[in-house]
Amino acid sequence: MKALRCLALSAPMLFAAGVRADEISLAVAANFTAPMQKIAIEFEKDTGHKVVPSFGATGKFYAQIRSGAPFEILLAADDETPARLEKEGDGVAGSRFTYAIGKLVLWSRKDGYVDDKGEVLKKNEFQHLALANPKLAPYGAAAVETLKALGQFDAVQSKFVTAENIGQAYQFVATGNAELGFVALSQVFKDGRIAAGSAWIVPQRYYAPIRQDAVILAKGKDKPAAEALLKYLRGDKARAIIKSYGYEF
């Protein structure tokens, strides 16, 4: 009886052992760092697959992927890069979808520094304005669009502190190297509000929608773990995490 009981208890373990866990290499847009870190933990718990993410600028990832970098999935900060990779044969046709729609915010670590209408830009009393490189990072491009729409681009351009990606732009402001900067809402949003400092959530009319697409790359083709992760990103658990950082769908 004892032997039978042991066998019964070990059966689920034997079944689990028969399901091959895998490792996935991800290139992830810097703005999606915090949500992806949380999603990775839950995904690994639920599937056994391990996620190995690298965070950075979408434009830089594009160049690395075209040069043969061993990424299997790209979570971009735009929809153009995944579509381009798919067209060029480096993305798996039919795997691409929008996993989040991002929002731009003008933020300062100082309470009361940024007003809720962005008038601080027109006052132009600051010395440094951080933003991500608009040639590499979609949030940087959105910042430039916003400044041009407001008619402030020429007035403040000399004060730009240009970061390689949105993560670095956030660091410039967080460390006080820039009084304010354009960052992703997800970087400063927690529990339904701005977590610290002061901010202006830039109205959508000032910049093109930041549709962030995911795509399985050629090196991840026919890999069950890659397909599982993209499916997981569409699920309720991942979407709840994504929404908690201020993204839309």
Domain 22-101+210-244 class in CATH: alpha beta
Sheet holding 50-56, edge to edge: 50-56, 23-29, 73-75, 210-216, 97-102
Residue-wise pLDDT for 74-123, tens only, equals 999 999 999 999 999 999 999 999 999 999 999 999 999 999 999 999 99
- What kind of fold does domain 103-206 have according to CATH? D-Maltodextrin-Binding Protein; domain 2 (3.40.190)
pLDDT value of position 218: 98
Residue-wise pLDDT for 229-238, tens only, equals 999 999 999 9
Residue-wise pLDDT for 175-191, tens only, equals 999 999 999 999 999 87
Structure tokens at 222: 């026919």
Locate CATH 3.40.190.10 in the chain. 22-101+210-244, 103-206
Residue-wise pLDDT for 15-58, tens only, equals 344 457 899 999 999 999 999 999 999 999 999 999 999 999 99
Residue 112: exposure state from Cβ atoms within 10 A (0-12, 13-18, ≥19)? exposed
pTM metric for this prediction: 0.88
Q: What string of H, E and C letters represents the secondary structure of 199-243? A: EEECCHHHCCCEEEEEEEEHHHCCCHHHHHHHHHHCCHHHHHHHH
